[in-house]
């Protein structure tokens, strides 16, 4: 900052050789690219000189960082571990929350289905009772031709005589040629 203020001062200053010159008329800063050196004006100031390194300056190495104390390393490892645990717990929370939402939606859908089935059951019971009532009303009419239940009209059937048991052969022969293409009636 002080050199920048001095460069604004119109008084002549002495360089190392002892000649009086103004700072604004110093020589250009050497650049590594010769094409760029032509574009730099002769009256470049000191601020530009501090930005662009000269060929004679050497690269300074930063000092080696001292090793961290044990307690600080342990705290860093604990932070990394807790970050991983927090991420795993966050993912687990999202999975549990989404499954709870899914289960709730399934329960609502199944509950609505149950209510619909219960309503249908009540309607079918009411329709069955209505039909029973209608049949009873028709039976009470004189021209229906139905006879009231009494012991006079009961029909008794006598059991048939015992039949001898039928013996089946040990290895029944299945005829494969007589298979029909029709569906079995039992299904």
The pLDDT score that the predictor gives to residue 186 is 59
Helix (H) or strand (E) holding 96: helix 70-140
pLDDT at 24: 47
Residue-level pLDDT at 162: 86
pLDDT in tens, 131-142: 999 988 888 887
Alpha carbon dihedral 111, 114, 115, 116, in 10-degree steps, equals 120
pLDDT at 114: 97
Q: For residues 137 and 133, what is the distance between their CA atoms, to the nearest angstrom?
A: 6
Give exposure, 119-157, as e/b (b: 16+ Cβ within 10 Å). eeeeeeeeeeeeeeeeeeeeeeeeeeeeeeeeeeeeeee
- Residue 149's pLDDT is what? 78
The mean pLDDT value of the chain amounts to: 76
Task: Tally DSSP H helices, then E strands, for the chain.
Answer: 4, 2
Residue 155: the pLDDT is: 85
Per the listing, tokens 């079918």 go with 124
pLDDT of res. 56 = 63
- pLDDT value of residue 133: 94
pLDDT of residue 1: 47
CA distance 42 to 29: 9
- Tell me the pLDDT of the chain (187 aa) as tens digits: 455 545 555 555 554 555 544 444 455 555 555 554 444 455 545 554 555 555 567 888 888 888 989 999 999 999 999 999 999 999 999 999 999 999 999 999 999 999 999 999 999 999 999 999 998 888 888 777 777 778 887 888 888 888 888 887 777 666 565 555 666 665 5
Q: Where are the domains of the chain?
A: 2-51, 70-140
């Amino acid at each position: 900052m002080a050199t920048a203020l001095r460069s604004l001062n119109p008084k002549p200053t002495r360089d190392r050789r002892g000649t009086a010159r103004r700072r604004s008329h110093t020589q250009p800063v050497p650049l590594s690219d010769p094409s760029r050196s032509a574009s730099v004006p002769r009256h470049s100031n000191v601020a530009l000189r501090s930005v662009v390194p000269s060929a004679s300056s050497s690269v300074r190495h930063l000092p080696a960082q001292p090793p961290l104390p044990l307690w600080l390393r342990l705290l860093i490892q604990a932070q990394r571990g807790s970050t991983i645990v927090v991420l795993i717990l966050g993912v687990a929370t999202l999975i549990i929350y989404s499954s709870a939402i899914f289960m709730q939606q399934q329960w609502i859908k199944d509950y609505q289905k149950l209510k619909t089935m219960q309503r249908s059951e009540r309607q079918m019971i009411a329709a069955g009772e209505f039909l029973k009532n209608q049949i009873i009303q028709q039976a009470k009419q004189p021209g229906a031709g139905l006879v009231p239940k009494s012991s006079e009209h009961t029909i008794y059937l006598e059991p048939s005589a015992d039949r001898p048991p039928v013996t089946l052969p040990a290895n029944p022969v299945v005829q494969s040629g007589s298979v029909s293409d029709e569906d079995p009636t039992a299904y």
